[in-house]
Structure formats: C-alpha cells, structure tokens
Structure 1
C-alpha cells in the first residue's frame, strides 16, 4: 500500500486494539479514552468511527468473524480423513482456539450497549449454524456426552471468558485449566445433565439496547 494508506491501516489497528482494552475494562468509557490509549488525536478516531456505537459494532463484528473463522477451520479438520475421533478433536480444538482468541469477553461485555446491525445479526446466525455442524461432528465421533446442545457451547465459552486476572499470562493459564475441566464434563461417560438445556435465543434479551 502507498505510505499514507499504510499509515491509516496501522492507525485503525491501533485504535481497535486500544478500544478493546478500554471497553473491556469499562464499557461506559468515552471514546476520548480510546484515543488517549491509542496515542492518536480524537479527530483521527472520529474520521474512522463517527460515533462510539460505530466503534463498538466494529469490535463485535470483528470478534464474530474471528469466531466463525475458527469454526470453519475446525470443520475442515472434522471433514478430514484422519480416522475415528476427528470430529471430537476438531470440536475441542475449536473451543481451545476461541478461548485463546478471547472473542467472548468483549462480546458479552458490550451486549446491550449498542444497536446491532443486520450484518452483525447475519454473522451471529452463521455462528450458530457452524457450531451446530461442529457439535454434530463431535456427536458422530461417539465422544460427546448426551444432552449437550448448541447453546451450551456459548455458555461454556462465556464461563472461561469470565476468568480474568491482572496478569494476562495468568489469565490464559487459568482459562486453559478450567476449559480442560469443562471439556471433561462434555465427554461421554457422565450421568444425566440436571435441568433443561438452554433454548436457542434464550439469551437474546442481552442484545436489547439498555
């Protein structure tokens, strides 16, 4: 890219990284805090994002796209010819990669703070479809515990995303630890799960503008 476009792209990446850090700490923070963290002028930020909602939507859209990319990659693994258990391996790898990418922390933190767009809704629908496919692949492997539904997957990921420590490396260690415990709970051999499973759309209320 020409120098000016390259600089603009770099600034955009810096702004989004800063916004992620700022809004994870405080979803009510002003955009001026993002500009300060990014080390750019407020006018440079507003040229890219006319308002705070535009910035929040972009962050969530990027997170959803990353989530869907991880799911698509896992499905390619599940469709491979590596033998029995591939569907389960792909499902576990998907969970691990999504937790490492930390896409759920920001999504759940920002839910209800802006009005979703049709583009966001389409990505969310796509996410549900991909996880449904992954769950079926895991079930076909014979290693998935009975009674696990698609909505369980999202809540498991949220449980791990809720683990936060001042030291980022310690956060990663603890998330890996508890994800391993949760994966064991997803594995065949356990008893009947208590209570009814979460329904599709049961937590959609969180996206209603507060």
Structure 2
C-alpha cells in the first residue's frame, strides 16, 4: 500500500522516531548491555517493530544510525561550548550537556558494529572540536594541569550512565526519577569542579591515550568474535 502522506511529513515522523529510538536504546543498553534486543528498544520507543525493520534492515544498521545521531549531539554541544565566550563555561557546559543526553551510553555496542564513513567523519569532527575546547581552557589557565581531551571523553562516558536512574527505571519507580536525576546533577557538578585549575595536585599515572576508544570500537575478526562469545550485530 502506498504511503499517501506528504514527503515532508514522512521525513519529520522518521526523525522523531529516530530520536525516540536513540533515547530508548540508551536506556535499554544501560539495562541489558550489548545483548539488548531490537524489539525491546522499539517497544521502549513506542515504535512498531515492523515499521522499524522497514527503515533499518538489520540491527547493525539501526545501531549505526543511532551512533551517527549521538555524534551529532556531541558535535552540537561542542560547537555551543566554543560559541560561549568564557572558556571554562564553554567546556563545563559541553560536558554537562553530553552527560545529560547520555553520551557514552551506547558504548556497550563497541566492537559489534562496522564503522561507516559517515561515522568516521563525524567522529573526527567531534574530536577536533573537543581538542579545541580543552586547548582553549588550558591556554586560559582555567583547566587543571595535565587534563587531556581523552580524560574529558572518559569522564563523560563514566558520568553519562547512572546506575541509580537505570535501576529505578527498571523497577518502574517513576515517583523517584526526579529526585534521582537531581542527585545525579549534583554529582556531575562535583566531578566537573575537579577539572578546575584551582586543583593543582598532579593527576595519578600517565595520561590515557586514544587507544582506549579506538581499540574498543574496532570490530574484531569473525574468528575472534566467535572465540570471545560475542553476539554478532
């Protein structure tokens, strides 16, 4: 049956569904990890499974699209941070925004999907913008000595998930979500404050390298994947 709706309306609906799927995927992945099912994600998003598979032929295609959307959010937050005149406010605002929309919560799919050219281009752009934010804050003397862009990325990933919120959602405790979200916001503020230049104590150990991201996201050969017991995307 031909869809008689105007093209613009169909496109707008598809975009709304994608945003709902991204949020649902973050919540389901937080609860179920890489074994999260497409059916569970679709149900959480309120999207019919048949409709989803008409748009995305495979689970891998879906996750590739969601990763692109997540990178778009990262880039938008970084651009907003650089547009902020105050270097500290720009960096802190970027980190807080990324934590709030759950950046890093798609990490359970690392190594299970093939990177696309679009993903690589947007990832490089995101890295470039973060480097600019960190460099600007460092040169302004507002960033703790020794803090690197990789430190910031890892911090966002750690803060982007909330075991407390995830547990309450799983229990269906909607009455406690606002309180838990407020408590999480306090913890994020405490953690971000640790990046301020007023803290002069040397950070422990060597600075982390980008390998902590690149190696995780590189898809292993099929033989290694089978040996590790990892499900194919």
Provide the residue aligned with 1:56 in structure 2: 63
Shift of 1:94: 1.1
TM-score by length of 1: 0.84
Distance 2:197 2:20 in 1: 44
Counterparts of 1:34 and 1:202 in 2: how far apart (Å)?
A: 27
| Number of aligned residues | 202
1:171-186 pair list within 5 angstroms? 171-186=180-195
- Say if 1:12 and 1:48, in contact at 8 Å, map to a contact too: no
Q: Go from structure 1 to structure 2 and tell me whether the alpha carbon gap of 1:163 and 1:23 turns closer, same or farther (over 3 Å shift).
A: closer
SS in 1 for 2:115: coil
Change beyond 3 A, Cα 1:113–1:24: farther
Partner Cα distance (2:195, 2:89) in 1: 13
What is the alpha-carbon distance in structure 1 between the residues aligned to residue 26 and residue 142 of structure 2? 36
Name the counterpart of 1:81: none
- In structure 2, relative to structure 1, the CA distance for the partners of 1:56 and 1:197 (3 Å cut) is same
Aligned to 2:213: 203
Deviations along 1:80-119, one digit per CA (max 9) or x if unpaired, are: xxxxxx111111111111111112222x222122111121
2:29 pairs with 1:23: yes
2:117 aligns to what? 118
Q: Which runs of 5+ in 2 are unaligned?
A: 169-175, 220-224, 226-233
Q: Which runs of 5+ in 1 are unaligned?
A: 79-85
